[in-house]
Every structure is written in structure tokens, then in C-alpha cells.
């Protein structure tokens, strides 16, 4: 995979729109490894379920710590971390990462929210956080792809409250924003990524299709935005960057340990 560097034009669009889509950030084998290992992880029973406000539920697995595995290789990838450092204007560290598991026909919705709407409560004084969502499966309108309001990060932090088991933005504010800002459905092929601001209003609909919609999200905080208090997410610690080749090296090894063939070993 060729080295990726966020261009000046992409960075300008990010700051104007609050997000930027990058097609084919990860290649077919990298995503194949991530998907197979993620689905093996599902069997551990560590995933939790969050009810939406529409009678559905979504499964996710959130981790604050990094191990010696394919998930850490994605989080530490220079492709992602270097882009995040340009976006946030300096050194970043791992805030957390998570698997979003929207299963066919039963996968729940994410209510409209800003990530800073609740990360604010974790002691971060400034909205100097951002996320990179990587499509594991193809994301479409039918299977509940990410939806964003272009430019909504410029609204600043909106009040949030409980919606089912989730934390949702003040719906009156959301509705007013929807009348003024463009709604974008982020349909993504596997390996495509979207970088987005922590104040960007976003949501996703229930998965009413026969296709799964899994995604892997890497979240980062600026080192200079170290929380002033302890919370369930970590305070600053140095994030070691790994070469992009670590994804395939660790992924193949991890998949072999699970007793499953990788795309490379099966001639794919």
C-alpha cells in the first residue's frame, strides 16, 4: 500500500465541512484481515448492546488499551496517525477504539449526536478530538451508513441527554440544523475511511437490509488536550507509530493463531 498523506486541499475541506472521506485508505487484504479477526472477536461475548430510541439496539466493543494485534496496528498506523496530527495540529494520543457491529435486519440506529457532547464530561477542555471510521463492510443507505450534517462542527457543542441507552443531541437544535445544513450519507466501500471532527453532528439509521454493516473507529485526542480529571477514557500517554506494514504482519499472525486462512495464504 502506498504511503498516504493528507493533502492541503483535504485538510481545508475537513476544517470547512467537519469531515473528509478518503477512498481506499486500506487495501483489500488489510480489510479482509480486520473483518475476519473482528468477527472472531465477536465470539468472545465482550460486546455490549446499546438501545436506540426506535426499539432497536446496536452492538459495539470499546477498548481503551492497545495490545499487540491488528486493531492496534490500525490505530498506530502512520496513515491514520499522521493525518490526525495534521488535523489536530500537533501530537495526538489514543483515546479509544471500537467495533460497530450492525447485523442484517436487526442492527440498531445511532441517534444524532456529537462525540464531544459526552467526551466533554471526560475532562477534555477543548474540542481537540477526532475520529477515523473505517468501513469493514460496504456501507450503504440500506444497511445504516453514517450520516453527517456538513459544517455542523461550527455550531459548537450542543446539549445532550439520554435517548434509550445512548446519548443524543438536543433534538430541537438538530432539527434546526437540518433545515440549514446539507445532510450527507457517507456510503463507503470496504477500506474507505472518514475522518471527522468531535463536534460534527452525525447519526446512522437501523440496518433494514440483509447485509451487515461493520465499522472500526479509531479515536484520538490532542496531547495538549490532556483531560484535567480521571474518567473511563485514558489521559495522555505517548502513542508509538507503527509502519503500515504491521497491519498485514500482525493480522496474518493473529488469523493463523485463530486457525483461519488469510487472503494471502489462500491465494486471494
The answer for residues whose C-beta is within 8 angstroms of residue 2's C-beta and 6 or more apart is none
pLDDT band at 56 (very low <50, low <70, confident <90, very high): low
pLDDT band at 267 (very low <50, low <70, confident <90, very high): very low
- In the predicted structure, residue 135 carries a pLDDT above the cut 80: yes
pLDDT digits (tens, 9 = 90+) for 1-11: 557 999 999 99
Q: Is the Cβ–Cβ distance between 61 and 99 less than 8 Å?
A: yes
pLDDT band at 60 (very low <50, low <70, confident <90, very high): confident
The answer for residues whose C-beta is within 8 angstroms of residue 95's C-beta and 6 or more apart is 119, 129, 219, 220, 221, 233, 234
Percent pLDDT > 70 in the chain is 90
pLDDT of 167 = 80
Q: What residue ranges define each of the domains in the chain, with the CATH number in brackets?
A: 8-257 (2.60.120.620)
pLDDT digits (tens, 9 = 90+) for 65-81: 999 999 999 999 999 99
Q: Are strands 19-22 and 193-197 parallel, antiparallel or unpaired?
A: antiparallel
pLDDT of 179 = 98
- In the predicted structure, residue 140 carries a pLDDT above the cut 80: yes
SS (H, E, C) 83-102: HHHHHHCCCEEEEEEEEEEE
Q: Which of 11, 36, 92, 17 is nearest to 258 (CA)?
A: 36
pLDDT of 268 = 39
Percent pLDDT > 90 in the chain is 79
pLDDT of 108 = 78
As a whole number of angstroms, the distance between CA 144 and CA 46 comes to 23
- In the predicted structure, residue 266 carries a pLDDT above the cut 60: no
pLDDT band at 35 (very low <50, low <70, confident <90, very high): very high
pLDDT of 193 = 98
- In the predicted structure, residue 53 carries a pLDDT above the cut 80: no
pLDDT band at 59 (very low <50, low <70, confident <90, very high): confident
As a whole number of angstroms, the distance between CA 94 and CA 191 comes to 21
Mean pLDDT of 197-210: 95
C-alpha distances in Å from residue 173, one per residue of 18, 120, 159: 18, 18, 9
pLDDT of 162 = 83
Alpha helices in 43-167 (DSSP H): 70-76, 78-88, 116-119
Q: Is the Cβ–Cβ distance between 4 and 25 less than 8 Å?
A: yes
Bridge partners, 141 (sequence order):
none
pLDDT of 49 = 65
DSSP conformation letters of 54-66: TS-EEEEEEESS-
Mean pLDDT of the chain: 92
pLDDT digits (tens, 9 = 90+) for 66-121: 999 999 999 999 999 999 999 999 999 999 999 999 989 877 788 899 999 999 99
pLDDT of 106 = 75
Mean pLDDT of 17-43: 94
As a whole number of angstroms, the distance between CA 119 and CA 220 comes to 11
Amino acid at each position: 500500500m502506498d504511503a498516504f498523506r493528507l493533502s492541503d486541499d483535504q485538510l481545508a475541506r475537513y476544517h470547512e465541512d467537519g469531515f473528509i472521506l478518503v477512498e481506499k485508505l486500506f487495501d483489500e487484504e488489510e480489510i479482509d484481515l480486520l473483518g475476519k479477526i473482528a468477527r472472531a472477536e465477536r465470539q468472545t461475548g465482550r460486546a455490549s448492546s446499546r438501545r436506540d430510541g426506535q426499539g432497536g439496539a446496536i452492538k459495539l466493543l470499546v477498548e481503551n488499551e492497545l495490545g499487540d494485534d491488528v486493531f492496534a496496528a490500525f490505530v498506530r498506523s502512520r496513515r491514520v496517525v499522521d493525518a490526525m496530527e495534521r488535523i489536530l495540529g500537533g501530537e495526538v494520543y489514543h483515546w479509544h477504539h471500537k467495533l460497530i457491529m450492525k447485523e442484517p435486519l436487526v442492527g440498531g440506529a445511532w441517534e444524532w449526536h456529537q462525540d464531544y457532547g459526552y467526551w466533554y464530561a471526560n475532562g477534555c477542555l477543548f474540542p481537540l478530538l477526532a475520529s477515523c471510521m473505517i468501513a469493514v463492510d460496504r456501507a450503504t443507505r440500506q444497511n445504516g451508513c453514517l450520516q453527517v450534517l456538513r459544517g455542523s462542527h461550527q455550531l459548537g457543542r450542543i446539549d445532550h441527554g439520554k435517548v434509550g441507552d445512548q446519548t443524543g443531541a438536543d433534538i430541537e437544535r438538530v432539527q434546526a440544523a437540518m433545515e440549514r445544513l446539507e445532510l450527507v450519507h457517507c456510503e463507503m466501500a470496504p477500506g474507505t475511511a472518514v475522518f471527522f471532527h468531535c463536534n460534527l453532528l452525525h447519526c446512522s439509521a437501523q440496518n433494514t437490509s440483509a447485509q451487515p454493516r461493520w465499522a472500526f473507529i479509531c479515536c484520538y485526542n490532542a496531547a495538549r488536550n490532556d483531560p484535567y480529571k480521571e474518567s473511563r477514557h485514558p489521559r495522555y500517554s505517548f502513542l508509538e507509530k507503527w509502519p503500515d506494514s504491521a497491519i498485514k504482519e500482525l493480522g496474518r499472525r493473529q488469523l493463523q493463531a485463530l486457525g483461519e486462512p488469510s487472503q494471502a495464504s489462500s491465494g486471494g
